[in-house]
């Protein structure tokens, strides 16, 4: 039995890493998929075909969730093509790391726009549809850095901590309409981005984690599936740490 059969899901920033893993996992479980990308058109079209090969309806949309007008237009197009929105996974995010003394105002603002304001934009854009349906699940990607902080990432930490506060508030606002809102806090997840760190750095990370390994996009995708599906029907306002015990 597919857990999301007959459901429509949105995943922002789905062309690589965690977003791609989440999109594939939801599609494997029967969800029709609308997903966004900003620049990687070739990867987006390849993912679109891969999702369709799983027997679901899937469509890639070029859209920047950090711009309210684009988020609203995207959601309007999704409703026209898919007729409903049952799951929203706010995954799009960036980093612009630097020590505070060297961080530019532009880099601080941009990280807040992409990582936090995009979640406000997308949640606001889908809210009316979910309220009419009296059902929906919203899953926001935060980070262990949003819980414990990290030197050189004050902008990223602030944005991800903001996601947790936003998630809790939306859960309180929308719970009476059977709309759930939860967050996932990934730890050290090994993707093409982390490969650039070098084997020694990666080994040090692994050794510092109680489970002695980095996570995979599928580890985060499995947690997302749980929160997106009715398996978590009585779970809202929570932050699920997928970090191998880093925050234990």
Task: Specify the pTM.
Answer: 0.96
What value does the mean pLDDT of the chain take?
95
Largest Cα–Cα separation, the chain: 53
Does some domain include residue 97? yes
Does some domain include residue 220? yes
Cβ partners under 8 Å of residue 93, min gap 6: 13, 114, 115, 141, 159
Give pLDDT, residue 82.
Answer: 97
Does some domain include residue 3? no
31 φ/ψ angles, rounded to the nearest 5 degrees: -75, 135
Does some domain include residue 246? no
Domain containing 107: what range? 8-239
Give pLDDT, residue 114.
Answer: 96
Does some domain include residue 49? yes
Cα of 32 vs its chain's centroid, Å: 17
Does some domain include residue 78? yes
Does some domain include residue 245? no
Provide the token pair at 57.
């309806």
Does some domain include residue 244? no
- CATH code for the domain of 197: 3.40.50.720
Catalytic annotation on 234? no
Average pLDDT over residues 26-52: 97
The rounded percent of the chain whose pLDDT value lies above 90 is 90
From the list 37, 61, 156, 234, the catalytic residue is: 156
pLDDT digits (tens, 9 = 90+) for 198-228: 788 888 889 899 999 999 999 999 999 999 9
Domains in the chain, number: 1
């Amino acid at each position: 039995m597919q857990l999301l059969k007959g459901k429509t899901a949105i995943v922002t920033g789905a062309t690589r890493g965690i977003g791609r893993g989440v999109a594939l996992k939801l599609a494997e479980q029967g969800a029709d998929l609308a997903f966004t990308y900003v620049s990687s058109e070739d990867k987006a079209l390849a993912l679109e075909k891969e999702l369709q090969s799983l027997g679901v309806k899937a469509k890639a949309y070029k859209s920047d969730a950090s711009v309210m007008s684009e988020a609203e237009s995207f959601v309007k197009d999704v409703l026209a093509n898919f007729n409903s929105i049952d799951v929203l996974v706010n995954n799009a995010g960036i980093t612009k790391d630097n020590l505070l003394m060297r961080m530019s105002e532009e880099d601080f603002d941009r990280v807040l726009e992409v990582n936090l304001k995009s979640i406000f934009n997308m949640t606001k854009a889908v809210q009316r549809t979910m309220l009419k349906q009296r059902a929906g699940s919203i899953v926001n990607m935060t980070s262990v850095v949003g819980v414990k902080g990290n030197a050189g990432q004050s902008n990223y930490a602030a944005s991800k901590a903001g996601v947790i506060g936003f998630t809790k508030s939306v859960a309180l606002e929308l719970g009476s309409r059977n709309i759930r809102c939860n967050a996932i806090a990934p730890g050290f997840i090994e993707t093409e981005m982390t490969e650039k760190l070098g084997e020694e750095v990666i080994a040090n990370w692994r050794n510092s984690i109680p489970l002695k390994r980095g996570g995979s996009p599928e580890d985060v995708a499995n947690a997302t599936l749980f929160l997106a599906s009715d398996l978590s029907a009585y779970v809202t306002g929570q932050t699920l740490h997928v970090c191998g015990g880093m925050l234990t």
